[in-house]
Amino acid sequence: MKTIRLTMAQALVKFLNNQYVSFDGKEERFVEGIFTIFGHGNVVGLGQALEENPGDLRVYQGRNEQGMTQAAVAYAKQNNRKKILACTSSVGPGAANMITAAATATANNIPVLLLPGDTFATRQPDPVLQQIEQLHDASISTNDAFRAVCKYWDRVSRPEQLMTAMINAMRVLTDVDNTGAVCIALPQDVQGEAYDYPEYFFKKRIHKIERKVPTKFDIEEAVELIVTKKKPMIICGGGVKYSEAGEALVNFAEKFNIPITETQAGKSAIKSSHKLNLGGVGVTGNLAANLIAEKADLVIGVGTRFTDFTSGSKALWKNKNVDFVTINASRFHALKMDATSVVADAKEGLIALGKALEERNYKSDYSLEIEEAASRWQQELDRLYSIEYKDGFVPEVSGHNDSVAKEFNELYEGKALPQTRVLKEINDFLKKDYVVIGAAGSLPGDMQRLWETDEKDSYHMEYGYSCMGYEIAGALGIKIAEPKKEVYAMVGDGSFQMLHSEFVTSLQEGKKINVLLLDNAGFGCINNLQMGNGMGSFGTEFRYRNEATGLMNGDFMQINYAKIAEGYGAKGYSVKNLEELREALEDAKKQERSTLIEIKVMPKTMTNGYNSWWHVGVAEVTDEDSIRKEKIQESYNEKESNLKRARRY
């Protein structure tokens, strides 16, 4: 057996360079590069190996460990999980910073490889700098915290352990059923230790991502249920994107006249303009989709996890005879909602189910209901898009008190814009060769309802973990994946403040991204949630502290985000009206460096829920004043009423 003597870190780099995936006969490299922030836990080990011979791995310098890992998550997501970027950090705070992004990856079933440095396997210098010491277990380090948020975890305590660790890592990273974050902790002394690795460890490995074919039994059982139903609906989830099954889904829906609704992850798998596509469903869904859901007697979930936002906390479907059929490559997800499950790749499942239903001459019983629901939603869209601030009055949008909107608008001399109108303007501007990304706050809800696109895979929303700070980092990851497309990060001021470090990396790398920052001076989505359930505005607006009262209810903070961008070397714009917004969008598209467009938007001008309910922990009792007490009691009663109908599984 031939061997090659390498340090563990050198062997790791060599191994990563030889990993490939094959899907539908197309073979391509799996690990395209590695994000790094070097520290004492990885710089002279893995850092030395990357400096000496990175092979074809492109090395990127991150600014914040969470930010660079979120970029890697977005990169893999935009590549439909067929390519990844690895991430390495030092031991201690650097490793801990990656935990949030690891959770983002795992919640969304997106592959990302994490290579944090670790304490010494020999324990000779203990406690090494940044080491956490636990009296009950000397083997614990910061990296053990990754166990809760990763699909696979290992620690390479001897150089030869790298082989089994990495083979298992690749198994999970390329597993469509159960992928997510993988953490391989690398003790810093072991990174530099040499071992005679067998040459076969470094052979070209092709990991086949195969389409899981449904069993005959699963198809027959699903068909027997479907043919008894008259008002079915489809939920298009992220699995449709990853399977590249958009065309198969449309063909299926057309054959049997079944309306399609979308999750955040499934949006842009098919065209928004298709007559059967009613758009977003659930808590952040629109009126058309949710009207159809109310009366549906069958829900066909394709590649969806049935999160609480999709299912309206399992209370969206009001037909007492509603049943569920799922097509999902993961048996775990396929069995949700006590569904009749077809465990299969989305495309293969749809084709097989379609053929079987054709043999039974099945057709839904819809006549004009789909068109009528779409028409009602179009009327509401027209209203939302026509909203404007006039004579000190803001028409109701989100269903909450507009006094805050008035105050904010007066602060900016009547020049703040309604959020719904801003989104339409941006949506109308972006036609092709673009990707828009979002993650948290009120924007995901507004975008799932309002955003329309016929551009495949142009809508990139992280809503499995709804991680604030993903937006700008994710935009960088998308740009690396799609260098020829314009990438637009839709971000609120709250998320921007939380994490925008990789904006600097985009400038360093010459990877132009466009940040569209909607500033409503607060965590507007959560402010709506608390006020809509009887609370006052508490700790969710960005105000100066009122020294007279000691409370955070002073004047709104005024922050110039465009100047922050300019300070980094980007192009900044501060717009005050729709004409300036149009001009900024046009000019930003011409730039070769990253841009940021700051847009002041009136609080309370985001959209509200449509015939949906979200289960949150509403107070059962309160000592507050009578008006607030009445609202809290109303919210609690609504919760109890919905829980009687909501499914418990």
> What is the torsional sign of CA 397, 400, 401, 407?
negative
CA dist., res. 505 & res. 503, Å (int): 5
Phi, psi of 306 (to 5 degrees): 55, 55
Assign 3-class secondary structure to 454-465.
CCCCCEEECCCC
The size of the chain, in residues, is 649
Assign 3-class secondary structure to 165-195.
HHHHHHHHHCCCCCCCEEEEEEEHHHHCCEE
CA dist., res. 403 & res. 355, Å (int): 57
CA dist., res. 452 & res. 417, Å (int): 21
DSSP 8-state class, residue 593:
S
CA dist., res. 30 & res. 70, Å (int): 18
Is residue 65 marked as binding?
yes
Task: Say if residues 528 and 606 touch (Cβ distance below 8 Å).
Answer: yes
**Tokens (6 digits) for 615:** 């289960």
Is residue 338 marked as binding?
no
Cβ contacts of 216 within 8 Å, gap of 6 or more: none
CA dist., res. 489 & res. 517, Å (int): 8
DSSP 8-state class, residue 212:
P
Is residue 520 marked as binding?
yes
**Helical residues (DSSP H) of 267-368, grouped into ranges:** 287-295, 308-311, 331-334, 346-359
User: Quick check: bond before 187 cis, omega within 30?
Assistant: no
Task: For residue 89, list its beta bridge partners.
Answer: 116
Using only C-alpha atoms, the chain has a radius of gyration, in whole angstroms, of 26
How many beta carbons lie within 10 A of that of residue 496, not counting itself? 25
Cβ contacts of 375 within 8 Å, gap of 6 or more: none
Residue whose entry in the numeric block shows the structure tokens 């601030």: 389
> In b/e form, how buried is each residue of 240-257, taking b as 16+ CB within 10 angstroms?
bbbbbbbebbbebbeebe
Task: Say if residues 462 and 108 touch (Cβ distance below 8 Å).
Answer: yes
Cβ contacts of 610 within 8 Å, gap of 6 or more: 285, 286, 287, 290, 380, 449
How many beta carbons lie within 10 A of that of residue 390, not counting itself? 9
**How would you class 9 by CB atoms within 10 Å of its CB: exposed for 0-12, middle for 13-18, buried for 19 or more?**
buried
Task: Say if residues 475 and 469 touch (Cβ distance below 8 Å).
Answer: no
Task: Say if residues 512 and 411 touch (Cβ distance below 8 Å).
Answer: no
Phi, psi of 242 (to 5 degrees): -65, -30
Q: Which amino acid makes up residue 347?
A: K
Cβ contacts of 177 within 8 Å, gap of 6 or more: 212, 329, 330, 331, 332
**Tokens (6 digits) for 534:** 């009887």
> In b/e form, how buried is each residue of 638-647, taking b as 16+ CB within 10 angstroms?
ebeebeeebb
List the binding residues.
65, 493, 520
List the binding residues for Mg(2+).
493, 520
List the binding residues for thiamine diphosphate.
65
